[in-house]
Structure 1
Amino acid sequence: MTTTQLYLRLMGYVRPYWRAFAVSILGMVVAAATEPLLPALLKPFLDGTFVHKDDMVMRWAPVLILVIFFVRGVAGFFGSYAIHWVGNKLVMDLRAEMFGKLLALPTRFYDDHATGSLISKLTYDVTQVTGAATSVVTITVRDSIIIVGLLGWLFYLDWKLTLLSLLVAPVVAWVISTINRRLRSSSRDSQRAMGSITQVIEESVTAHKVVKLFGGQRYESERFAEEINGVRRHMMRQAAAALANVPIVQMVAAIALAVIIYLATMQAKSDANTVGGFLSFVAAMLMLTAPLKRITSVSEFTQRGLAAAESIFELLDSPSEVDDGKTHIGRATGHLAFEHLDFSYHADGRLALHDIDLDIPAGQSVALVGASGSGKSTLANLVPRFYTPTGGRITLDGYDIHDLSLASLRSNIALVSQEVVLFNDTVAANIGYGQMREVPEDEIVAAATAAHAMEFIREMPQGLETLVGEKGVRLSGGQRQRIAIARAILKNAPILILDEATSALDSESERHVQAALETLMQGRTTLVIAHRLSTIEKADRIVVLQKGRIVESGTHAELLAKGGAYAQLHRIQFASTAMLEDA
């Protein structure tokens, strides 16, 4: 995307607020128009008072100055307030669109992008575009009017000296162009570095127990110090380029000003100019330096904003989840079928699942077992379309799941995993999460009771209104699992996926959770992923996976009698359990 296209796209976000933007422009125009009036008044004021002793000039000149500054102050206030309002609206809209995009992105996108860099885009990058989209425009408009007005007055006073001053313009343009390229590059680098800082912070805070237990404080401190030093270096390169811009331009302008003042004094010596005209010319020349300084420094904000816009639009242009299914099936019966299913995570075509054929009648519980990396979780993740199969298809009640809308498909699926996701909200809000309605308390209580959760919820200080903390940190592992089960019970979906739901629990917690799961599984098509084979012995069918292929299928008793892969897994696991118990 070219700089022009990038800037026009960014300005598109200002379009809905064109009225406020127009107010800001108008305010800036009025304030800018008063600027050339000050040197213009100097000539008649000085000549009329000190030379001609004109009473009218002496009486009204101070009043005019007060009027000019009053108009300038009021217009400047409303212009600046309006542009700040537009800028904050722009940031709000971009953040809302970016967050909406994050919610719509596919799972694979999150596999490939660090959380910290995504957070940095929403918190840091988006604030950098404000100057480019709003302030730059108003500063350019205001200062361009000031410069044109002052130049017009200078041409009126002495067009030859004014033309001489314009000889510095090509030099100034070359300086600005050279520095702009460096500013854009350093802005990109600093934004990437900010994403790395956010990532280190996010990882260190999330894994603070591991950091403390394994003595990783020094390592994390050094890693963080390296990242923040990188940001400092990028910011200093950016500052050096920006700070060099203004004095170089000012020095070029000062040389021109010195030459012009010298020539003007020569004219005054020969009575070619009046005292008022000379001072008015010099004042206008001096007043040109401030808007020239702002105009040249505006490139810093422009390049920083455009670099941030590149980062933002890169996220916004990332393809969302494919949701082209047109069929809405309401509540499914739960009949799942996997037909010659292949799946690969990688572009090289290495298959994580190969030729999976599996038919699961409605209401049947199927356990997926196998060594780590055998494809159990991958198979389960394909059901709600977190990933797209490389080959073959999955059907629900005879419908290819890719012909179903995502909302229709996922409304029929509930998930309880080992890594329970709870939000920093109340117990009730976490149980009722995602329901597109106001859930009555009695339904939440019923779901919590069925999940064996009300027994510990009643003991909490505020009961269902108790805050669970970030990621449910104020609850035990078993309590978090039962809250997740209550959430699944309340959803009442016909298909249930249990991904290692009891693997990290102690015996007492597992007993409660297992009882809750048995309640939840009744009448539902259930995919159970488990390492501990003791938890899936009652499953209607057990499917054994090895290297992405189904190698065995049957009941617990049938597979043991067969003496194959499942029986071997069973022997190894229970031998290990017996050794631990003896120890």
Structure 2
Amino acid sequence: MGLFRFFENRLEVYPEDNYNLPTDNFLKFLWACTKGLRGWIFAFMFLTGLIGVYESLLYKWIGDIVNWLGAYTPANLWAEKGDSLLMMAAVLVVSPILVGLSSLIHFQTLQGVFPMQMRWRFHRQMLGQSMQFYQDEFSGRVSAKVMQTALAVRDTIMTIADMLVYVLVYFVSSGIILFHLDGWLLIPFLLWMVMFFATVAYFIPKLKNSASRQADARALMTGRITDAYANITTVKLFSHSRRELTYAKDAMSQFLGTVHDQMRWVSRLELVNHLINVVLVGTTVALGLYLWYYNGLSVGAIAAATAMAMRLNGLTHWIMWQTAALFENIGTVQDGMKTLSKPHTVVDKPNARDLLITQGEINFSHVDFNYGRSGNKTNDTDAKQKLLDDFNLEIKAGEKIGLVGRSGAGKSTLVNLLLRFYDVDGGAILIDNQNISDVTQESLRQQIGMVTQDTSLLHRTVRENIAYGRPDATDEQIISAAKQAYAWEFIQHLSDAKGNVGLDTQVGERGVKLSGGQRQRIAIARVMLKNAPILLLDEATSALDSEVEYAITDSLNDMMAGKTVIAIAHRLSTIASMDRLVVMDRGQIVEQGSHAQLLAQNGVYAKLWARQSGGFLGEDD
């Protein structure tokens, strides 16, 4: 066990450095994925080569022993060939050490750690992608690429290191031995090589293309199934289980079609593979007998050549399937490259520093933003839509403003730009005179607390969800925040199928085990515990009933005290008490002032206020 653990611990499984993944070069992509592993891979290749030489020598020694048995009596065999027999015995004794060391490097050092290290680095790469990336991708598809590509890269590298090196060394050493025995014996092997490589050249591209289509179809199938599970409430709400089955069945049928296509080529390959092996063994035996009859070729040479041919007969199936698997993995890697090597569109500058909040003043200065630029979207229609054009807005330290406007007015865009989910195309966003593009994204978002209308909880415990913005918080601090958010009462009565209760209860994927109001209160508790100096509220109380909303108002007011606050609400009554209301339309500020001032102006805001029914913002032409 100690020996196994020694080799298992040779590599760092979770390194802090990242890959520099090329986007369009397969070999460079593979090379990048071997970062930190190359020494062990080359050691494994060296040992594999030695094993190939050893196996070739075995067949030569079989021929030598056959000849010796015909040339020497039992009495004088040891005296004449004792040294050679001792050398053979020594090599046989050493061979288990070579095979054992090769196996330890292969299976203990590389087989498990290699793909896990890749998954770790791929996951780091994906977490750094922009919000737009995840809006354009299935989350299930991305996770499938992370898992499948890691295994495919591992298998590609190990197949090259094992199969190709072994075969090359075995062929070269066997060729030298056969030439030494009789150069004519090389003819069947050369004929076999021509037929083998012709077979590979014909079949492997077919299998590669089939594998590539299969990998893409598998990812599509996984993505569709995962999408149904992730949105199971919507599926059941609309009674569309049958529709989802049909949707998944279509993807499954596409995947099965690629499987059938691949298996047809596999059957053809199996038949051709057997035929070229029959040719190899048959011609080797026939030529050996011919040379024995006419040229006096030794029986040992025939035995060695026939043994090598029989060994290749067995090896050919392994080589062919390894080669087919190699190109299947190559197809999977090439498919995964398209997703995993996409460059990040929102990145920190090399010299980015941490954001330092002294007051909390925010300034949107001459901001231009267009979803068709900065790598945000590529759709031509979107490219023509310019949401912000020379936009200016100054928010004083500690000021509380409300953003008002219909959907598409640009309210959420401002929030997304402040969080730097997207980069501006022109101008700058400043916090305490620090350009947010010059600071690290992590430090920026650490200084901002946000409660959104679409509350998303992690599939973890209530405790972990509340403490997500402040992982070092004590249970007393977590409970205090829960009480402020009026969540503690229901948290105490929560339980799950595993017997966990209270703060230890698992909330389910996206918090599915909780009601919308419960999820919202946990989200509010999370932001209260984080206690960031800048607070963003996007319909923060929309999921709460009126009684809970009224009860939590004082806590929200306490949370906003001393902070710079930007609140978005369609229900104008929830933001009417803000210091300033900013009315937006088509990316521009059309009015701003206090609630009373805007009503007195009798402009856009006054009309919106008058048109509210039940406190919600109506539509306007």
TM-score normalised by L of structure 2:
0.84
Matches within 5 A, 1:321-400: 321-324=346-349, 326-347=352-373, 348-400=383-435
Shift of 1:66: 8.3
Q: Deviations over 1:19-76 (max 9, x none)?
A: 5435533443343233224432333433444675435659999999987766555533
Tell me how far apart the structure 2 counterparts of residues 56 and 537 of structure 1 sit (CA, whole Å).
111
SS in 1 for 2:428: strand
Read off the aligned partner of 2:322 and give its amino acid letter.
V
The one of 587, 594, 603 equivalent to 1:555 is 594
Given that 1:341 and 1:355 are in contact with CA atoms closer than 8 Å, whether structure 2 keeps it comes out as: yes
SS in 2 for 1:432: helix
Shift of 1:16: 2.5
Read off the aligned partner of 1:7 and give its amino acid letter.
L
- In the other structure, the counterpart of 1:447 is 481
Tell me how far apart the structure 1 counterparts of residues 50 and 371 of structure 2 sit (CA, whole Å).
61
- Which shows bigger deviation, 311-320 or 476-485? 311-320
The one of 464, 470, 475 equivalent to 2:514 is 475
Matched positions, count: 578
Given that 1:101 and 1:320 are in contact with CA atoms closer than 8 Å, whether structure 2 keeps it comes out as: no
Shift of 1:491: 1.9
- In the other structure, the counterpart of 1:542 is 581
- In the other structure, the counterpart of 1:286 is 310
- Which shows bigger deviation, 25-34 or 354-363? 25-34
Read off the aligned partner of 2:341 and give its amino acid letter.
L
Call closer, same or farther: CA 1:121–1:55 in 2, change over 3 Å.
farther
Matches within 5 A, 1:119-138: 119-138=143-162
Call closer, same or farther: CA 1:570–1:248 in 2, change over 3 Å.
same
The one of 519, 524, 537 equivalent to 2:563 is 524
SS in 2 for 1:181: helix
Residue 255 of structure 2 corresponds to residue 231 of structure 1: yes
> Please, what is the CA RMSD of the aligned residues?
3.2
Tell me how far apart the structure 2 counterparts of residues 4 and 371 of structure 1 sit (CA, whole Å).
43
Tell me how far apart the structure 1 counterparts of residues 362 and 42 of structure 2 sit (CA, whole Å).
59
Given that 1:363 and 1:525 are in contact with CA atoms closer than 8 Å, whether structure 2 keeps it comes out as: yes
Shift of 1:387: 1.3
Tell me how far apart the structure 1 counterparts of residues 86 and 23 of structure 2 sit (CA, whole Å).
47
Shift of 1:91: 0.8
Tell me how far apart the structure 2 counterparts of residues 4 and 56 of structure 1 sit (CA, whole Å).
67
Tell me how far apart the structure 2 counterparts of residues 431 and 338 of structure 1 sit (CA, whole Å).
31
The one of 15, 22, 27 equivalent to 1:7 is 27
- Which shows bigger deviation, 512-521 or 203-212? 512-521
Matches within 5 A, 1:249-288: 249-270=273-294, 272-288=296-312
Call closer, same or farther: CA 1:276–1:441 in 2, change over 3 Å.
same
Shift of 1:249: 4.4
- In the other structure, the counterpart of 2:441 is 406
Matches within 5 A, 1:474-493: 474-493=513-532
Q: Deviations over 1:81-107 (max 9, x none)?
A: 422331322211211111111121122
Structure 2: 5+ residue runs without aligned partners?
1-20, 374-382, 496-500
- In the other structure, the counterpart of 1:79 is 102
SS in 2 for 1:353: strand
Call closer, same or farther: CA 1:119–1:257 in 2, change over 3 Å.
same
Tell me how far apart the structure 1 counterparts of residues 233 and 617 of structure 2 sit (CA, whole Å).
31
SS in 2 for 1:356: strand
SS in 2 for 1:215: coil
Call closer, same or farther: CA 1:3–1:169 in 2, change over 3 Å.
farther
Shift of 1:308: 3.1
Shift of 1:247: 4.2
Read off the aligned partner of 2:371 and give its amino acid letter.
Y
Residue 212 of structure 2 corresponds to residue 177 of structure 1: no
- In the other structure, the counterpart of 1:316 is 341
Tell me how far apart the structure 1 counterparts of residues 295 and 364 of structure 2 sit (CA, whole Å).
100
- Which shows bigger deviation, 235-244 or 206-215? 235-244
Given that 1:430 and 1:487 are in contact with CA atoms closer than 8 Å, whether structure 2 keeps it comes out as: yes
Tell me how far apart the structure 2 counterparts of residues 299 and 4 of structure 1 sit (CA, whole Å).
23
Q: Deviations over 1:125-160 (max 9, x none)?
A: 221111211232112222222222332332222212
Residue 182 of structure 2 corresponds to residue 166 of structure 1: no
Q: Deviations over 1:418-468 (max 9, x none)?
A: 122222222222222143x63233332332333233333344464333333
Call closer, same or farther: CA 1:138–1:578 in 2, change over 3 Å.
closer
Shift of 1:530: 0.8
Call closer, same or farther: CA 1:193–1:452 in 2, change over 3 Å.
same
Tell me how far apart the structure 2 counterparts of residues 106 and 8 of structure 1 sit (CA, whole Å).
24
Call closer, same or farther: CA 1:556–1:132 in 2, change over 3 Å.
same
Given that 2:368 and 2:425 are in contact with CA atoms closer than 8 Å, whether structure 1 keeps it comes out as: yes
Call closer, same or farther: CA 1:295–1:265 in 2, change over 3 Å.
same
Q: Deviations over 1:506-547 (max 9, x none)?
A: 223323443432221122111111111221121112222222
Given that 1:83 and 1:135 are in contact with CA atoms closer than 8 Å, whether structure 2 keeps it comes out as: no
Q: Deviations over 1:347-390 (max 9, x none)?
A: 52311234433222111211112212221111111111111223
Tell me how far apart the structure 2 counterparts of residues 258 and 358 of structure 1 sit (CA, whole Å).
86
Residue 472 of structure 2 corresponds to residue 438 of structure 1: yes
TM-score normalised by L of structure 1:
0.89
Residue 89 of structure 2 corresponds to residue 32 of structure 1: no
Q: Deviations over 1:214-237 (max 9, x none)?
A: 221111111212212222222333
The one of 170, 174, 189 equivalent to 1:146 is 170
Given that 1:7 and 1:133 are in contact with CA atoms closer than 8 Å, whether structure 2 keeps it comes out as: no
- In the other structure, the counterpart of 2:116 is 92
SS in 1 for 2:583: strand
Tell me how far apart the structure 2 counterparts of residues 459 and 246 of structure 1 sit (CA, whole Å).
63
Call closer, same or farther: CA 1:352–1:3 in 2, change over 3 Å.
closer
Tell me how far apart the structure 1 counterparts of residues 182 and 525 of structure 2 sit (CA, whole Å).
85
Given that 1:119 and 1:198 are in contact with CA atoms closer than 8 Å, whether structure 2 keeps it comes out as: no
Residue 609 of structure 2 corresponds to residue 565 of structure 1: no
Tell me how far apart the structure 2 counterparts of residues 416 and 575 of structure 1 sit (CA, whole Å).
23
Shift of 1:414: 0.8
Call closer, same or farther: CA 1:151–1:143 in 2, change over 3 Å.
same
Read off the aligned partner of 2:397 and give its amino acid letter.
A
Call closer, same or farther: CA 1:79–1:233 in 2, change over 3 Å.
farther
Given that 2:352 and 2:438 are in contact with CA atoms closer than 8 Å, whether structure 1 keeps it comes out as: yes
Structure 1: 5+ residue runs without aligned partners?
none
Given that 2:402 and 2:580 are in contact with CA atoms closer than 8 Å, whether structure 1 keeps it comes out as: yes
Tell me how far apart the structure 1 counterparts of residues 74 and 100 of structure 2 sit (CA, whole Å).
35
Q: Deviations over 1:109-129 (max 9, x none)?
A: 222222222111112222111
Given that 2:357 and 2:432 are in contact with CA atoms closer than 8 Å, whether structure 1 keeps it comes out as: no
Tell me how far apart the structure 2 counterparts of residues 4 and 561 of structure 1 sit (CA, whole Å).
61
Given that 2:156 and 2:330 are in contact with CA atoms closer than 8 Å, whether structure 1 keeps it comes out as: yes
Tell me how far apart the structure 1 counterparts of residues 90 and 34 of structure 2 sit (CA, whole Å).
33
- Which shows bigger deviation, 28-37 or 542-551? 28-37
Read off the aligned partner of 1:319 and give its amino acid letter.
H
SS in 1 for 2:506: coil
